[in-house]
Amino acid sequence: MAARALPDPEMLANGVAARDRAALARSLNLLDDKRPEARRRAAHLLATLPADKLDRSGHLIGITGPPGAGKSSLTSALIQVWRQRNLSVGILAVDPSSPVSGGALLGDRLRMLAHDHDAEGGVFIRSLACRGEYGGLSAEVWPMSLAMLAAFDVVLIETVGVGQKEIDISKMSDTTCFVAQPASGDSIQFLKAGIMEVPHLLVVNKADMGTAARKTLTELRTTLKKQFDPDGWQVPALAVSATKGTGIDKLADTLESHRVWLVEHDLLATRRKRFQAEWILKRLREEFGRFGIERLGGEAGLFDELTRRHGSPFDQYDALRDRFLANWKT
């Protein structure tokens, strides 16, 4: 039996743009594939996807929060509201990998089963293992979310239940939503102490828990009074119940209002460029260390260069990698 042939990237790109589910699935597989030929085709695929969609349309949302806060149930509840509003939805759900075996249990779909019966095929879920990355995401999330942006109106990334310090998701989503547990004061303490990076939206889930949820919400609101993110957005806090379905419409509205705010302030495209630059810098640091970054012109310089240029993440990364290797040899 001959080795299975890799797919043609241009056909895939056309399929993805037409929201062909099989083409999208194969594209995600290709973006995951580390073999050199696959990597070449993946770069070609990303370069062929409609650039305007990747740069400035759709809405890339990140959902993060401690384990057990109900992120998957909340995601499922949001999908329902978005589908009622006729928006198509792509989900990237990240789960932890075992540090010993590398294996992972990808269980988030269990909480989203209701959407399997979506008649129009408007929901697509891909699970990912974090594969040893810190920060609740895996390296594949950024390229994969680009492919999803080409196909869907809303792309939601659900992170591993992380500690409050490491929210890499804020460097990869237009809108970051932090889900807090009622009666767990940790997030508030971290916010007050400035340890936790400020998300764009704080959600207290399990509002059906009553007093505990109200108390947590009040504390959050007090803490957040006049709290702005670095771009100047004032951070709201909401109470919802994913299982009872209350407050979800309001949450969807608030997420949308942040997207509109980003567009109005001309920040959507700028921020996505920043995300890509961050992603490339992280990969370079991993491969070449601080020394390598210095040889390439330093963090600030590289960041600047990357945000000014166009190109797919793989192409940009490969160009810098080649430059480093060339410098190294001379």
Partner 1 sequence: MEKQPTKRDKPWLMRTYSGHSSAKASNQLYRTNLAKGQTGLSVAFDLPTQTGYDSDHVLARGEVGKVGVPIGHIGDMETLFDQIPLAQMNTSMTINATAAWLLSLYVAVAERQGASQDQLQGTTQNDIIKEYLSRGTYIYPPEPSVRLITDVVCYTVKHIPKWNPTNICSYHLQEAGATPVQELAYALSTGITILDAVRDSGQVSVADFADVVGRISFFVNAGIRFVEECCKMRAFARMWDKITQERYGVEDEKMRRFRYGVQVNSLGLTESQPENNVQRIILEMLAVTLSKNARARAIQLPAWNEALGLPRPWDQQWALRMQQVLAFETDLLEYGDILAGSTVIEAKVQALIQGAEAEMERVREQGGMIPAIETGYVKRQLVTSHTERMRAIERGDLKIIGLNCFQQTEPSPLVGEGEGSIMKVDPRAEREQIERLQAFRTGRNQADVDAALAALADAAKSGDNIMPVSIRCAHAGVTTGEWGQALREAFGEYRPPTGIDISLHDSPSAAVQEVRDRVRHTGEELGRPLRILVGKPGLDGHSNGAEQIAVKARDVGFEIVYQGIRLTPQQIAKAALEEGVHLIGLSVLSGSHMELVEDITAELAKLGIPEIPVIVGGIIPVDDEKVLRNQGIAAVYTPKNIDMNAIMADMVDIIRASNGLKPYQQKAA
| 111 binding partner 1? (CB under 8 A) | yes
**Distance (Å, rounded) from C-alpha 255 to C-alpha 262?**
11
Closest contact distance (angstroms) between CB of 17 and partner 1 is 18
| 104 binding partner 1? (CB under 8 A) | yes
**Distance (Å, rounded) from C-alpha 38 to C-alpha 46?**
12
Binding mask 3-22 for partner 1 (x = CB under 8 A): xx----------------xx
Kindly determine how many residues on this chain lie close enough to bind partner 1 according to the rule CB under 8 A.
37
Among 102, 185, 210, 298, binds partner 1 (CB under 8 A): 102
The answer to whether residues 17 and 23 touch, using CB atoms and an 8 Å cutoff, is: no
Give Cβ neighbours of residue 115 (< 8 Å, ≥ 6 apart).
76, 79, 80, 83, 123, 125
CB closer to partner 1, 111 vs 200:
111
Phi, psi of 266 (to 5 degrees): 55, 40
What single letter denotes the amino acid at residue 323?
A: R
**Distance (Å, rounded) from C-alpha 16 to C-alpha 218?**
44
* 232-271 binders of partner 1 (CB under 8 A): none
Stretch that binds partner 1, among 54-62, 105-113, 180-188, 267-275 (CB under 8 A): 105-113
Among 11, 14, 32, 307, binds partner 1 (CB under 8 A): 32
| 116 binding partner 1? (CB under 8 A) | yes
| 283 binding partner 1? (CB under 8 A) | no
**Distance (Å, rounded) from C-alpha 279 to C-alpha 317?**
9
| 300 binding partner 1? (CB under 8 A) | no
CB closer to partner 1, 26 vs 200:
26
| 105 binding partner 1? (CB under 8 A) | yes
The answer to whether residues 129 and 138 touch, using CB atoms and an 8 Å cutoff, is: yes
Closest contact distance (angstroms) between CB of 324 and partner 1 is 24
Tokens 């249990």 locate to: 105
| 33 binding partner 1? (CB under 8 A) | yes
5-30 as b/e, with b when 16 or more CB fall inside 10 Å? ebbebeebbebbbebbeebbebbbeb
Element containing residue 63 per DSSP (H, E): strand 59-64
CA 314 to chain centre: 17
Among 35, 165, 265, 323, binds partner 1 (CB under 8 A): 35
Closest contact distance (angstroms) between CB of 102 and partner 1 is 5
| 125 binding partner 1? (CB under 8 A) | yes
Among 17, 19, 29, 221, binds partner 1 (CB under 8 A): 29
| 71 binding partner 1? (CB under 8 A) | no
**Distance (Å, rounded) from C-alpha 224 to C-alpha 252?**
20
Among 25, 87, 263, 269, binds partner 1 (CB under 8 A): 25
**Distance (Å, rounded) from C-alpha 185 to C-alpha 206?**
15
Give Cβ neighbours of residue 69 (< 8 Å, ≥ 6 apart).
161, 179, 180, 181, 205
Positions that interact with partner 1 (CB under 8 A): 1-4, 21-22, 25-26, 28-29, 32-35, 38, 68, 97-98, 100-107, 109-111, 113, 116, 124-127, 129, 131
